[in-house]
């Protein structure tokens, strides 16, 4: 069985292991695969693992030996699922591997926006505390989370993990769209989207990118927020209208934002959020803790082994 990992560097920076995969067949690892090399590297392969390398309809129909694509992510929009179904190719994904890591980053943003830890650290190293007339020094309003309202847009696994952490800080949780099963509902109040934005001190986005959610956070919805409120996005960049958010930040319609995703990644240097006021941006790292990436690989390998055994797991071509 020939197995190829098309973009291993996207998940492995030398700190996680694909060793178990090598027990399942003859493995070839490419750090990255540009579009013009996808066919050449895939043409004789039965099993392909990919994170972001695109397998469109034409590519899938050109690969006569291909029987399985394992997506090294939860989202699988880089694979033409309909073409795979037509060809009888099994496609799997890896759900829920990054839940705790993303929730952790959400609170990294929330704590930084409320306490300005990095800013005050910089002030100390620049000597501002040393020349202070008092035993303490701060030059930015500091916020306390206890009693604040956290609005969660999308109450799946990650939204629920964020809610549990928020409750430990004494926050009140309101959320948009009640899931059908599997949550503790008693301490969460569900309400319409606009009311979430009106009432929340912090809004955090955990919704998928769909036709309904694309551009959902726009000038109108941002105008409903409290002037002191913050918005966090660790879901998908295009959920936010970036021009509208930059304007809201620069005009101080809202107080700040924490973003791990943008509409284009890597971003255009002219993206207005790169120069917006009080906008913290990280380079799509919420999923990328070592523990999270090893869980991703471990599940992907289980998916491969299950496929070879004839009992595939986490199949999305259904």
- Residues with a known catalytic role: 236, 265, 284
Judge whether 235 and 208 are in contact, CB under 8 Å. Answer: yes
The CA-based dihedral angle spanning residues 299, 87, 30, 10, taken in that order and rounded to the nearest 10 degrees: -50
Rounded-to-integer distance, Cα 115 and Cα 141, Å:
8
Q: φ and ψ at 223, to 5 degrees?
A: -70, -15
- Return contacts of 206-210, CB within 8 angstroms, 24+ apart: 206/152, 206/153, 206/154, 206/155, 206/156, 206/158, 206/159, 206/162, 206/234, 206/235, 207/153, 207/154, 207/235, 207/236, 207/239, 208/75, 208/154, 208/235, 208/236, 209/235, 209/236, 209/238, 209/239
By CB atoms closer than 10 A (0-12, 13-18, 19+), residue 187 is exposed
Judge whether 139 and 123 are in contact, CB under 8 Å. Answer: yes
Rounded-to-integer distance, Cα 285 and Cα 304, Å:
26
Angle at 246 between CA 154 and CA 159, to 5 degrees: 15
């Amino acid at each position: 069985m020939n197995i190829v990992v098309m973009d291993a560097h996207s998940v492995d920076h030398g700190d996680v292991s694909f060793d178990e995969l090598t027990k399942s067949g003859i493995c070839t690892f490419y750090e990255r695969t540009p579009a013009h090399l996808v066919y050449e590297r895939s043409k004789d392969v039965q099993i392909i693992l990919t994170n972001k390398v695109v397998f469109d309809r034409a590519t899938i129909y050109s690969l006569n030996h291909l029987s399985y694509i394992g997506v090294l992510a939860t989202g699988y929009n880089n694979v033409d699922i309909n073409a795979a179904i037509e060809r009888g190719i099994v496609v799997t994904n890896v759900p829920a591997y990054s839940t705790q890591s993303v929730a952790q980053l959400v609170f990294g943003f929330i704590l930084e926006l409320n306490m300005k830890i990095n800013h005050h650290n910089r002030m100390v190293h620049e000597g501002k505390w040393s020349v202070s007339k008092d035993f303490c020094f701060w030059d930015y309003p500091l916020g306390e989370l206890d009693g604040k309202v956290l609005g969660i847009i999308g109450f799946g696994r990650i939204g629920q993990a964020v809610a549990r952490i928020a409750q430990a800080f004494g926050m009140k949780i309101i959320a948009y769209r009640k899931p059908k099963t599997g949550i503790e509902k008693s301490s969460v109040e569900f309400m319409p989207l606009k009311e979430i934005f009106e009432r929340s001190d912090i809004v955090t986005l955990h919704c998928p990118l769909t036709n309904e959610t694309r551009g959902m956070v726009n000038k109108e919805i941002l105008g409903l927020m409290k002037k002191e409120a913050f918005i966090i996005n660790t879901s998908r960049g295009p959920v936010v209208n970036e021009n509208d958010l930059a304007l809201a930040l620069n005009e101080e319609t809202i107080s700040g934002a924490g973003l791990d995703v943008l509409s284009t990644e890597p971003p255009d240097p002219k993206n207005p959020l790169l120069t917006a006021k009080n906008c913290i941006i990280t380079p799509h790292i919420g999923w990328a803790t070592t523990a999270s990436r090893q869980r991703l690989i471990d599940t992907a390998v289980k998916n491969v082994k299950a496929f070879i055994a004839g009992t595939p797991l986490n199949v999305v071509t259904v």
